[in-house]
Amino acid sequence: MAIISHRTCVRACFAFVTASVAILGLAIGAQAADPIKVGVTITQSPPGSVVQGTQVKDGLEVAAKIINDAGGVDGRKIELVIEDTQGLPEKARAAVEKLITRDKVVAITGEHQSSAALAGIEVAHRYKIPYINTNGWSDVIREKGYPEVFNPGNYNSRVGSAAAATMKELGVKRVLSLAENTDYGIGLAKAIGEALKKVAPEISYKYETLDRASKDFLPAMIGLRSNPPDAIINLMLPPAAYIMMNQAYEQGIAPSAKTWLYDGSGLADYPDFWQNVKEAGKGMLVFGLYHPKMKQPPLGKEVGEAYTAKTKNEPNRLLFQAADSLFIIADAIKRAKSTEPAALIKALDATDYTGTRGEVTFSKDKGFAFNQWLDVPYVTFQMTEIDQKVGDSVLVSQPGQALDPAKLWKPAK
């Protein structure tokens, strides 16, 4: 048996401690330099809305650049790991699974289609990873009551109550919603019906679901022509929404002297809107989550300018919703001083952050209000000219200002 001298033993211990400290230091240093990975699920190829996916991606990239240029989060850069869901629930589910298990992201965000969000949150809930729902409007996402899922974006009940209030102010008697056959479309159509029952039970309301992949809605329009409603609410996304609008216009249904066209899907925000609709969009009333004449916090102005510099496009609602999603995650990491899921969820619960659109807090009420920012700002505006920019449209109502139908433009026939 070898005898180890005292000096050798001390030297060995010293070397071990030094090496351990060095390794620990390297590890800490490496962690400090490691980027914080945030998972993003968006639509980058059909059949989902690629336009929306592109806008969300731009918004997240603008926000990530602002955060990183300011030194990152506690010295660590934000890295976006993007997965394409094609707007399909099965792809969204697989994407979230991959982001969590393989990419080890600290949170998921970006989803902009309700059907995909509903699939994605199941996985996030199973792994207890924070999920910031950027633009899934379906109330069901909130009604699940998952503590990991936070909603700084718009929600169906909000649009429902806004649309119902507008219909009441317009003084219409019969309203028809044309909704796409998705969780978003059907959920929103029902939410409007519920809201109308409360604020204007005298209004007769029904909705029709249309296939979002369809390219021809003419038979549905012909069926409406003999007895058109007083208002049609669009609850479809492009490109199907454009085709429906053009055919409604060609059949003389809406917008017309008899029938208002009200858009509940934010169509006017799309850069290809006027190229695709022309006369069919003139006179359309729009539920808007963004309007250049709205009041915005300084961060909103900064994000809007950075987006325009990056893409040469006018800012849009999804840009701000996406940017807020990432800012909220960064804010929670900063306050939690950790990227551990449980600490992050606790910090998200206590969010009180002034983002691009206002002061975001999350309600803890049950149902559609769970983990929802309830005061998402909205306006109603009217497109009164072909090729009109949203900024030049007529702002007809905003918080604190009721809609006056006498001031609205309507076609002569």
Partner 1 sequence: MSAINIDLAINGFVTGLFYALMAVGLSLIFGILKIVNFAHGEFYMIGAYAYTLIALLLGVPVWIALPLAFLVGALMGWITERTLMRPLYAGYTSWGVMRDEYAVIVTFGLSLFLINLVDKVIGPYAYRGPPLVEASRVSIGPVLISGHRLLAAFIAIAVILVTAALIKWSFWGQQIRAVSQNRLGASLAGIDTAKASVIVFMLSGGLAAFAGALLSPVINASPDVGIFPAIKSYIIVVLGGMGSVPGAIIASLFLGVIESFGAVYISFQYRDAFGLILLMLFLLFRPQGLFGEKGREV
Nearer to partner 1, 63 or 253 (CB): 253
By CB under 8 A, is residue 20 in contact with partner 1? no
CA-derived radius of gyration, the chain: 25
By CB under 8 A, is residue 252 in contact with partner 1? yes
By CB under 8 A, is residue 359 in contact with partner 1? no
By CB under 8 A, is residue 216 in contact with partner 1? yes
The span of 63-71, 111-119, 209-217, 297-305 binding partner 1 (CB under 8 A) equals 209-217
- Whether the Cβ atoms of residue 236 and residue 179 lie closer than 8 Å to each other: yes
Region of residue 411 (phi > 0: left; psi between -120 and 50: alpha; otherwise: beta): beta
Considering the complex, what minimum distance in angstroms separates the CB of residue 265 from partner 1? 14
Cβ neighbours of 325 (radius 10 Å) = 31
By CB under 8 A, is residue 367 in contact with partner 1? no
By CB under 8 A, is residue 236 in contact with partner 1? no
- Whether the Cβ atoms of residue 382 and residue 169 lie closer than 8 Å to each other: no
The span of 167-175, 189-197, 210-218, 324-332 binding partner 1 (CB under 8 A) equals 210-218
Instruction: Show contacts with partner 1 in window 261-300 (CB under 8 A).
Output: 270-272, 275-279
Compute the distance between CA of residue 259 and CA of residue 113 in angstroms, rounded to an integer.
Answer: 29
Considering the complex, what minimum distance in angstroms separates the CB of residue 220 from partner 1? 4
Compute the distance between CA of residue 393 and CA of residue 259 in angstroms, rounded to an integer.
Answer: 20
The correct pick among 156, 234, 246, 388 for binding partner 1 (CB under 8 A) is 246
The correct pick among 187, 239, 255, 264 for binding partner 1 (CB under 8 A) is 239
By CB under 8 A, is residue 116 in contact with partner 1? no
Nearer to partner 1, 74 or 279 (CB): 279
Considering the complex, what minimum distance in angstroms separates the CB of residue 249 from partner 1? 7
Pick from 42, 103, 128: nearest CA to 326: 42
Would you state the structure tokens that stand for residue 249, as one six-digit string? Answer: 């216009």
Q: Torsion over CA of 181, 238, 378 and 398, rounded to 10 degrees?
A: -120
The span of 104-112, 113-121, 247-255, 360-368 binding partner 1 (CB under 8 A) equals 247-255
Cβ neighbours of 50 (radius 10 Å) = 18
Considering the complex, what minimum distance in angstroms separates the CB of residue 248 from partner 1? 11
The correct pick among 68, 209, 354, 363 for binding partner 1 (CB under 8 A) is 209
Q: Which helix (H) or strand (E) holds 333?
A: helix 317-336
By CB under 8 A, is residue 349 in contact with partner 1? no
HSE of 362, CA atoms in CB hemisphere, 13 A: 27
- Could you give the 3-state DSSP secondary structure of residue 353? strand
By CB under 8 A, is residue 219 in contact with partner 1? yes
By CB under 8 A, is residue 250 in contact with partner 1? yes
Instruction: Show contacts with partner 1 in window 43-102 (CB under 8 A).
Output: 44-47, 50-51, 53-54
Compute the distance between CA of residue 81 and CA of residue 87 in angstroms, rounded to an integer.
Answer: 17
Q: Using CB atoms within 10 Å of the CB of residue 221, give its burial: 0 to 12 exposed, 13 to 18 middle, 19+ buried.
A: buried
Instruction: Show contacts with partner 1 in window 167-186 (CB under 8 A).
Output: 181
Compute the distance between CA of residue 39 and CA of residue 59 in angstroms, rounded to an integer.
Answer: 14
The span of 14-22, 142-150, 203-211, 363-371 binding partner 1 (CB under 8 A) equals 203-211
Residue 63 phi/psi, 5-degree rounding, is: -65, -40
217: DSSP letter: -
List the x/- string, 328-347, binding to partner 1 by CB under 8 A. --------------------
68-90 CB burial, b ≥16 within 10 A, e <16? beeebbeebebebbbbbbbbbbe
Compute the distance between CA of residue 105 and CA of residue 111 in angstroms, rounded to an integer.
Answer: 15
Considering the complex, what minimum distance in angstroms separates the CB of residue 15 from partner 1? 56
By CB under 8 A, is residue 312 in contact with partner 1? no
Considering the complex, what minimum distance in angstroms separates the CB of residue 215 from partner 1? 4
Compute the distance between CA of residue 254 and CA of residue 403 in angstroms, rounded to an integer.
Answer: 20
By CB under 8 A, is residue 225 in contact with partner 1? yes
How many residues in the shown chain lie near partner 1 by CB under 8 A?
Answer: 42
Pick from 302, 298, 297, 301: nearest CA to 69: 302
By CB under 8 A, is residue 307 in contact with partner 1? no
Nearer to partner 1, 198 or 225 (CB): 225
Residues interacting with partner 1, by CB under 8 A? 44-47, 50-51, 53-54, 181, 208-211, 213-220, 222-223, 225-226, 238-239, 242-243, 246, 249-252, 270-272, 275-279
